[in-house]
């Protein structure tokens, strides 16, 4: 008789067991991807529509699908178009709730609008509340919608004098018009899709000049998600706390879970310079559970372990910015992002939160192109608002634009929450920029008194050449 040991039986059973687990994991991953895609769609529809309504602008679901929901993260791009959605208005006719179906046995993913703080995404599995509904409009009462597709001539805002000053013939906008027009063509990136360009500068008569151009369906009052431009807004919020005496960049984060290990030595400066030394699973660290899954900042950004001594290695990570903001969250009772936007004059900007109360200032701010031009103008004015209030410390511009920490490889440097163009030929070395996914750029050139804003919805695989565009814009103003 042949006897088989228990160990041998276990060994024989192991491959089949692993194969079964592998199949199950694939099914789980596919299900999770559908949940993420539904969350992404719910949040973008909610935020784009509700934040436009807040500004008195017009967006349609078709426009959002054509721009924000196309050419996105490959993991969900093939899924998102097949997911059905429902938009529920409140009693005033504003967007209150967006629901997206994704599984027969689970509640729809949903995002809820507040109209003061944009939208927030609910965790997977949460049942949506029913808003107080309005009476449907009578036939003929509905307003015409904005152009939904990325085609057409767009809207041009002519050059205008924002501050009085002597104008000269040499301040002709024709050279700038040609460069700005090229931003809406494939000249600066095959497949790139520009939605807005705004320029602020002084002409030779010392007048403040502003010029803007917009794609169809977009205009001066149309907000878009800033993506990682929000990191530079976070650095500005922290600068305001430093100016008020509520924080120092040398402060550590008094986070309770870190009291027993070396993460307590990480400073705000380390976080702003992407040099916390913490591990991240991918460059930039994918924050899918937070951005699409409805997870909280407190659970998704805080647990990553230390891998390097703080301040020694550059590793671009959303979680570093989230923790820098968390370090000053105790100050938000007296001064929060809405106060910052009010001081700067960013009237169309909204900082959104997670399902709790934490701001997602690594990405989730909605703002108009003009709002971002005003952010850049604040830095041209060395931290002083248009009303004359000193909002940032006198040396804050130098602080955020100085590469004093470890640096990334490549053609860009990094300061504190802002990228640096200090290595770019033909561009003044004092140039620094806020940069975000899908082509969001705010370029500040103090030596030329220039702010250049480019907004886009560039699909994955396409990149707008902001360095070449900046170089051409500056040359057109010489």
Which domains occur in the chain, in start order? Answer: 16-121 (no CATH), 224-247+328-476 (3.40.710.10)
d(CA 377, CA 73): 32
Band the pLDDT of 14: cuts 50, 70, 90.
Answer: low
User: What is the pLDDT, as a whole number, of residue 150?
Assistant: 59
Band the pLDDT of 12: cuts 50, 70, 90.
Answer: low
Question: Which range has the worst mean pLDDT, 126-135, 143-152, 267-276, 413-422?
Answer: 143-152
How many other β-carbons are positioned within 10 Å of the β-carbon of residue 424? Answer: 18
How many other β-carbons are positioned within 10 Å of the β-carbon of residue 284? Answer: 16
Mean pLDDT throughout 267-283?
94
The more confident residue out of 101 and 23 is: 101
User: What is the pLDDT, as a whole number, of residue 163?
Assistant: 33
* pLDDT beyond 70 at 158: no
- In 413-471, the DSSP E strands lie at 413-414, 419-420, 432-436, 440-445, 450-456
Render pLDDT for 119-132 as a digit per residue (tens, 0 to 9): 999 999 999 988 77
Mean pLDDT throughout 79-87?
97
Q: What's the chain's average pLDDT?
A: 89
- Nearest CA to 444 out of 433, 456, 429, 428 is that of 433
- Nearest CA to 430 out of 470, 409, 405, 402 is that of 402
d(CA 356, CA 159): 43
* pLDDT beyond 60 at 5: no
How many other β-carbons are positioned within 10 Å of the β-carbon of residue 255? Answer: 15
- Nearest CA to 267 out of 279, 251, 244, 290 is that of 251
Share of the chain above pLDDT 90, in %: 77
* pLDDT beyond 90 at 334: yes
Q: Both tokens of residue 85?
A: 């959605």
Render pLDDT for 297-322 as a digit per residue (tens, 0 to 9): 999 999 999 999 999 999 999 999 99
Q: Do residues 450 and 376 lie in contact, with contact meaning Cβ atoms separated by under 8 Å?
A: no
d(CA 154, CA 233): 28
State which H helix or E strand residue 27 sits in: helix 6-55
Strands 432-436 and 419-420 come out as antiparallel
């Amino acid at each position: 008789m042949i006897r088989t040991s228990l160990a041998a039986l276990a060994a024989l059973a192991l491959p089949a067991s692993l194969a079964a687990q592998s199949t199950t994991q694939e099914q789980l991953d596919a299900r999770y991807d559908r949940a993420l895609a539904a969350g992404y769609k719910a949040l973008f529809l909610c935020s784009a529509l509700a934040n436009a309504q807040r500004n008195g602008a017009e967006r349609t679901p078709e426009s959002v699908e054509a721009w924000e929901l196309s050419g996105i993260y490959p993991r969900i791009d093939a899924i998102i178009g097949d997911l059905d959605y429902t938009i529920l208005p409140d009693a005033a006719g504003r967007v209150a709730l967006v629901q997206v179906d994704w599984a027969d046995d689970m509640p729809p993913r949903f995002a809820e609008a507040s109209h003061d703080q944009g939208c927030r995404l609910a965790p997977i599995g949460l049942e949506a509340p029913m808003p107080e509904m309005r009476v449907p409009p009578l036939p003929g009462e509905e307003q015409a919608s904005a152009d939904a597709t990325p085609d057409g001539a767009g809207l041009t805002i002519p050059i205008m004098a924002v501050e009085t000053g002597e104008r000269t013939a040499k301040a002709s906008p024709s050279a700038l018009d040609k460069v700005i027009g090229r931003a809406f063509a494939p000249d600066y990136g095959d497949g790139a899709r520009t939605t807005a360009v705004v320029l602020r500068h002084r002409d030779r008569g010392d007048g403040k000049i502003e010029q803007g151009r917009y794609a169809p369906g977009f205009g001066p009052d149309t907000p878009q998600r800033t993506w990682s431009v929000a990191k530079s807004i976070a650095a500005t919020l922290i600068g305001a706390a430093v100016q008020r005496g509520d924080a120092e960049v040398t402060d550590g984060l008094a986070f309770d879970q870190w009291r027993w290990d070396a993460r307590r030595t990480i400073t705000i400066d380390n976080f702003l310079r992407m040099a916390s030394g913490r591990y991240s699973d991918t460059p930039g660290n994918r924050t899918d559970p937070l951005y699409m899954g409805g997870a909280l900042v407190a659970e998704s950004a805080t647990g990553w372990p230390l891998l390097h001594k703080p301040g020694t290695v550059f590793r671009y990570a959303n979680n570093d910015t989230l923790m820098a903001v968390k370090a000053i969250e105790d100050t938000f009772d007296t001064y929060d992002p809405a106060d910052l936007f009010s001081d700067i004059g960013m009237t169309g900007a909204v900082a959104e939160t997670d399902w709790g109360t934490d701001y997602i200032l690594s990405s989730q701010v909605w703002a108009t192109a003009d709002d971002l031009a005003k952010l850049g103008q604040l830095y041209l004015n060395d931290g002083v608002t248009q009303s004359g209030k000193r909002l940032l410390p006198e040396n804050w511009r130098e602080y955020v634009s100085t590469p004093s920490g470890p640096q990334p490889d490549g053609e860009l440097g990094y300061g504190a929450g802002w990228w640096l163009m200090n290595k770019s030929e033909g561009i003044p070395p004092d140039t620094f920029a806020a940069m975000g996914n899908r082509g969001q750029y705010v370029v500040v050139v103090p030596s030329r008194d220039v702010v250049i804003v480019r907004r886009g919805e560039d699909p994955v695989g396409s990149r707008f050449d902001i360095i070449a565009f900046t170089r051409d814009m500056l040359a057109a103003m010489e």
